Amino acid sequence: MSYPDDYSTDIEKNKMDLKEFKEKTQIAELESKVLRLELKNKDINRENVQIKKENEILKRELDKLRIPPLILGTILDKVNERKAVVKSSTGPNFLVNLSQFVDPEDIVPGARVCLNQQTLAIVEVLPKEKDYRAMAMEIEEKPDISFEDIGGLNNQIRDIKEVVELPLKNPELFEKVGIVPPKGVLLYGPPGTGKTLLAKAVAYETNASFVRVVGSELVKKFIGEGAKLVRDVFKLAKEKSPCIIFIDEIDAVASKRTESLTGGDREVQRTLMQLLAEMDGFDSRGDVKIIAATNRPDILDPAILRPGRFDRIIEISMPDEDGRLEILKIHTEKMNLKSVDLREVAKIAENMVGADLKAVCTEAGMFAIREEREFIKMDDFREAISKITGKKEKCSYDMPQLTVMYG
Q: What is the DSSP letter of 371?
A: T
357 assigned to a ligand binding site: no
Cα separation, 241 vs 204, in Å, equals 16
Report the Cα–Cα distance between both ends of the chain, in Å, rounded: 139
Distance CA 201, CA 246 (A): 12
How far, in Å, CA of 341 to CA of 375, rounded?
14
196 a known binding residue? Answer: yes
Q: Residue 70, annotated ligand binder?
A: no
Q: Return contacts of 76-81, CB within 8 angstroms, 24+ apart.
A: 76/109, 77/109, 78/104, 78/107, 78/108, 78/109
Q: Over the Cα atoms of the chain, what is R_g?
A: 38
Strand partners, 112: 74
Nearest CA among 234, 238, 236 for reference residue 276 = 234
* 195 belongs to an annotated ligand binding site: yes
Residues linked to residue 247 through DSSP beta bridges, in sequence order:
213, 292
> Do 213 and 137 contact (CB within 8 A), yes or no?
yes
Residues 319 and 354: beta-carbon distance below 8 Å: yes
Q: 3-state DSSP call for residue 262?
A: coil
Q: Is 365 annotated as a binding residue?
A: no
Question: What does the alpha-carbon distance between residue 292 and residue 294 come to, in Å, rounded to a whole number?
Answer: 7
| Encoded amino acid at 345, one letter | V
- B/e letters for 126-156, b = 16+ CB within 10 Å, e = fewer, are eeeeebebbeebeeeeebebebebbbbbeeb
Q: Which residue, 407, 353, 347, 359, is CA-closest to 384?
A: 359
Q: Is 166 labeled as ligand-binding?
A: no
Contacts of 184 (CB under 8 A, 6+ apart): 163, 279, 289, 290, 291, 292, 309, 310, 311, 312
Residues linked to residue 248 through DSSP beta bridges, in sequence order: 214
Q: Is 331 flagged in the annotation as binding?
A: yes
Q: Which residues are annotated as a binding site for ATP?
A: 192-197, 331
Q: Which residues are annotated as a binding site?
A: 192-197, 331
